[in-house]
Chains A and B, each alone.
Chain A
Amino acid sequence: MTATTTTRSAAEPVSTAPRAARSGTPRTVAGRAVKYALVLFFLFIVLMPAYVLIVTSFKSGSEIGVTGQWNLPEHWTTASWAKAWRSLQPSFVRTFELAIPVAVISSLIGAANGFVLSRWRFPGADLVFTLILFGMFIPYQAVMIPLREIVTTIGIPPGIPTLVFVHCVYGIPICTLIFRNYYATTVPEELIEAGRVDGAGLLRTFWSLILPISIPGFVVTVIWQFTSAWNDYLFAIFLSNTRNGPITIALNALAGAQSPDYAASMAGALITSLPTLIVYVLLGRWFIGGLMAGSVKS
C-alpha cells in the first residue's frame, strides 16, 4: 500500500482474459512448455507448506517422528483437531468480536475521510494527507510503550475492546488511502455537481449519493482490516493475554511450547487461518484488484 494515486478503480475485478492473442510476437511451443513448467513448479512450492499442515494434522502421535514425516498418514485421525479446537475455541469466538467491529468501523471512517480528501481541497490538504499516510508506515513499537502505559494507568482491562480501538485508530491511514483513491477515480464530478444543484451539502452528498456506490471500496477495506485484525500478533501480545486475547496469542501458546505437539499445532494453525482464507477465497477477486489499485500508479 503506498501513497500513489491511480487511474484504475479501486476494486474493479482484474481481467482474467488471456493476453497471448494481443501480443505482437507469437510464442514458441518450447517457450510455452517452459512457462507452464515454471508455473506448475511454483504452484507446487507455494502449496508445499499447506500439504505439510494438512497431512501432519491428521496423524496420530506415534506417526509424528522424523521418518516418514512427508508421507500421508497411515491412520487418519481427527484427534489433534479436537485437541486444538478445545484449546483455541474461546479465543476463536473472541477474535470475531475483534475483527468484525474493526472491519466495519474502520471502513466507515475511511470512507468519510477518503471522500473529503478526494473532493474538498482545503488549505494544507497535501500536508494533512501526507501526515495521515505516514501513520501507515510507522513501526508500532514507536507508539506501543506509552500505549500500554495509558491502558494500565487508566485501568482499562487488556483485551478485545482495547484491541478494537487500537486497530481502528491505526487502520485510519490505510482505509483513508483506499477510499480516497477509489473516489478519485470512480466518482464523476458531474454526480457531485448534480447533488450540489439539488442543494445537497457535503454530508448529504456523502450519505445519499456516495455511500450507495461505495460497495467495491468497502469490500477492499473490510477484507484488509478483517485480515489484519485477525492476524495481528504485535498489538495482541502488548495489550492482551492468553485469557482474553485473540487467536494468535492462543495459537502461540499452543504451538510455542518447548516440545510442541506438532499435530495439534498444525491443526491449530489451520483452524486459525480458516476465516481469513474463506474471506479471501470468496472475495479475493476484488481484493486483488483493490490491492493492485491501492498501490500502483498506472
Chain B
Amino acid sequence: MRRLRHWGPGLLLLSPSLILLAVFVYGLIAWTTKVSVSDEHNARGSKGFVGLDNYVNLFTNDINDRFLHSLKNLLIFTVVFMAGTMVMGLLWAFLLERGVRGEGFVRTVYLFPMAVSFVASGVVWRWLMNPGTGEDAGGLNAVFGALHLEFLQNTWWTNPNWGMAAMAMPAIWQLSGYVMALFLAGFRGIPQELREAAAMDGASTYRLYRNVIFPQLTPVALSALIIVGHMSMKMFDLIMSVSGAQWLTEVPAVYVWQALLTSDYAKAAAISIILLLLVAMVIVPYLIWTNRTEQRS
C-alpha cells in the first residue's frame, strides 16, 4: 500500500503517454510488420502469410532494381548531407567560437533556414538548381556563367548518376546551422581552465585545438551525426518538393508513398520496415551508449 502511494501518482501522470506510445509506436510497428509479410498487394485485401517474400522480392526481383536504385540514391544523399552539415557546422561554430561582432545576428541568420519547411525551401531550390546550362543557364548556373566559372555549371539533381548529391544541397543549407549550434554549445561547454592549462604548458593554438578542444567535442559530433543521419533516412518532403516523385531521385521514403498510391500495401510496409531497421541499427547502439555513459556519471 505504501509502495502504491509512492509510485502511484507518478505512474498516473505517465501512463496515458505510455499507453499512447505503446499503441501508436510499438503497436503500429507490429501492424506494419504484419502487413509486410502478407500478400496485400491491392485494395482487395490480404489472403495470407507469405513470409519474407516481399523483402526478398525488393532486393532480387524488383522491376529495374527499383529498390536497390532507391537505396543507392539514399546512400549518396546521406553521405553528402552528413559530410556537408558536419563540415559547415563545425566551420561556422569555429568561426563564432571566440566571439565575433554581432554574434547574435550572425547566429540567427545561420540558423534561420531551420525554421523554414522543406516544402517552402524546395520552391526556391528547384529554381536555384535549374538544370539549364550555357545560353539557357538559370539559377546557380547563371551565377557560374556570369562569374566565368562555366565548368561549375551542371544539371544538378537531373544528373542520373550523382544528382542525389545536388539534392543534398538544400538539406545542407537547412541543417548546417543546427549542427553549428550543437558545436558552439560544445565549444562553450569546455572549461576555461583547460584552455588556460594548455596555454601555461606553452601549447600552440594548433595543438590546443588538436589535442585539447577537438577531443572534447567527440560526444557532440556523435550527437550531430546521429541527428543528421536519421533525418536523412527519413527524407521525404524535400525530395517531393524539389523533384517530385520520380525515378531519378527516388529514395525508400518516397518509394513507400508511390507503392501506396498503387495500393501495394505489402510492398510499402516492407520498405517501411527496412527503413525502420536502418534507423534502428544506428539509434539503438547510440541509446545504449548514452544510457551507459549517463549511469556512469
Contacts of B268 in A (CB 8 A): 141, 145
Q: Is the C-beta of B137 less than 8 angstroms from some C-beta in chain A?
A: yes
A35 and B101 CA atoms in complex are apart in Å by 11
B28, B132, B182, B227: the one within 8 Å of A143 (CB)? B28
In the complex, are the beta carbons of A281 and B108 less than 8 A apart? yes
B residues with CB within 8 A of A: 7, 9-14, 16-18, 20-21, 24-26, 28-29, 31-32, 35, 88, 91-92, 95-101, 103-104, 106-125, 127-128, 132, 136-139, 142-143, 173, 177-178, 181-182, 184-186, 188-189, 192, 195-196, 198-199, 204-205, 208, 219-220, 223, 226-227, 230, 233-234, 236-237, 240-241, 244, 253, 256-257, 260, 265, 268-269, 271-273, 275-276, 279-280, 283-284, 286-288, 290-291, 293-295
In the complex, are the beta carbons of A231 and B98 less than 8 A apart? no
Residue of A nearest to B28 (CB): A143
A203 and B12 CA atoms in complex are apart in Å by 9
Instruction: Give chain B's interface secondary structure class.
Output: helix
Tell me whether A49 and B115 are in contact in the complex, defined as CB-CB below 8 angstroms, given that A113-B17, A285-B104 are known contacts. Answer: no
Contacts of A122 in B (CB 8 A): 7, 10-11
In the complex, are the beta carbons of A273 and B256 less than 8 A apart? no
Contacts of B128 in A (CB 8 A): 48-49, 52
Query: What are 13 of the A-B contact pairs (CB < 8 Å)?
Result: A2-B223, A16-B103, A132-B17, A142-B273, A144-B272, A145-B31, A146-B31, A146-B35, A201-B9, A272-B119, A281-B108, A296-B220, A298-B186
Contacts of B124 in A (CB 8 A): 49, 52-53, 266, 269
A residues with CB within 8 A of B: 1-5, 8, 14-20, 22-25, 27, 35-36, 38-39, 42-43, 46-49, 52-53, 56, 66, 69-70, 109, 112-113, 115-117, 120, 122, 126, 128, 130-135, 137-147, 169-170, 172-173, 176, 201-203, 206, 227, 230-234, 237, 248, 251-252, 255-256, 262, 265-266, 268-270, 272-273, 276-277, 279-281, 284-285, 288, 291-293, 295-298
A-B contact count (CB 8 A): 304
Contacts of A252 in B (CB 8 A): 119, 240-241
